[in-house]
Structure 1
């Protein structure tokens, strides 16, 4: 069953992530999706929970209340179609940035094409650009990141330093300095994150993707898994090529 509630107190993407995380922690909640602009939260439940239970899961900053819109039997096909279109619209910034990185990496190596140089430039630009968005709101990013990254959940400071790790790896790739170390770190860092993303997708949880920080509201989708997988695949290929020579 799906219920939509009014919620007050959300002022930023970090608040949105906190609300979704707190409500998702309840056993009967399958997914929690908050809307910052409409001050609403939509919950998919296995059984109905009263307002008091939902409120107790939240901090005192947020107040949740009933509203007349209720969909007990799930979304209709029309609503599902709108949801799919909305998701594609939300993911547009991610596809656009990914396209810019791809085209720039190709142009940098167009005159003297070298697949290894292309992959290093791609990975370097990927890290630099994605870290930029995380730096815009580090605390908001860290809070969203902890919702699915296993290491960030256990070591809270990891979410805060993660943008610096990405920036450092990006510079190493672009400067061609300590590339082997950067490749190994990429496998470790993105491997951990991809595990968390995969688990989130398999559990069918609706949470915010932190890949572009908390400034842009991106849903966690297969696109997140694919982008991480591409980076991991490139790192593996580069390591094989490096040690095969």
Structure 2
């Protein structure tokens, strides 16, 4: 007998492997197939296994639930339906962070207003804040990042050093040190990532965005493309003014 379940909390291939291992160890389960993109697990059962037993076998970060049949009348019961979040609601943390960074950049320069200084502060704060969220789950970030970044796919080590690379670039911008180097690095690094993001969006893949690490589970959407594009445009604009 095959039963399909929904599993939330999986963010990378490491999570997928862990879930498969834990569920396969349950007595009565003969085979487990986990689909990371769909957040589903298909179990071949030799004997009935309760949902609570499946949940107890998994770490707390994962929540398992039965996949409802679309013809199941209980699904049509309004009380049993969980409202789906809109894209704006899902990306609310990203918008709030962008707002804070923008306001802070303006406040730092409003007395002697200089658009270039405001842009440098914005880019510096962008890197520092976003690297913080990546470091919150430094172990899980590389796997999540590798799902769409072309360079991280080829060189796994790149995913591990990326958050610290962001810190370095953020400090260069905020300290006004080696700005040209930091601008060129921004165009190259975010350009590579944007290529991967664009391909993911065009392929209509449903994966988690690693821009804010794995602590905040954000979906990969056009907003990810836009945030990278804004940084790249700023870097190009600054370079053209410096030369």
- 1:17–1:208 Cα contact (<8 Å) kept: no
Give the secondary-structure state (helix, strand or coil) at the position aligned to 2:205. Answer: coil
Cα separation, 2, equivalents of 1:111 and 1:66: 55
Q: How much does 1:69 deviate?
A: 1.1
Query: What is the TM-score with the length of structure 2 in the denominator?
Result: 0.73
Distance 1:69 1:192, change over 3 A: same
Is residue 70 of structure 1 aligned with residue 69 of structure 2? yes
Give the secondary-structure state (helix, strand or coil) at the position aligned to 1:117. Answer: helix
Query: What is the TM-score with the length of structure 1 in the denominator?
Result: 0.73
Distance 1:226 1:68, change over 3 A: closer
The gaps in structure 2 that reach 5 residues or longer are 18-34, 45-57
The equivalent of 2:37 in structure 1 is: 32
- 1:101–1:126 Cα contact (<8 Å) kept: yes
Distance 1:31 1:159, change over 3 A: closer
The equivalent of 2:191 in structure 1 is: 191
Alignment of 1:80-95 (within 5 A): 82-85=83-86, 87-95=87-95
Cα separation, 2, equivalents of 1:158 and 1:13: 22
For the aligned residues, what is the CA RMSD? 3.3
Q: Report how many residues are paired.
A: 203
Cα separation, 2, equivalents of 1:104 and 1:4: 47
Give the secondary-structure state (helix, strand or coil) at the position aligned to 1:164. Answer: helix
The equivalent of 2:215 in structure 1 is: 215
Q: How much does 1:110 deviate?
A: 0.4
Alignment of 1:147-158 (within 5 A): 147-158=147-158
Question: Which stretches of structure 1, 4 residues or more, deviate above 6 A after TM superposition?
Answer: none
The gaps in structure 1 that reach 5 residues or longer are 21-29, 35-40, 43-49, 53-60
Q: Whose Rg is larger?
A: 2
Q: How much does 1:71 deviate?
A: 4.1
- 1:13–1:140 Cα contact (<8 Å) kept: no
Give the secondary-structure state (helix, strand or coil) at the position aligned to 1:126. Answer: helix
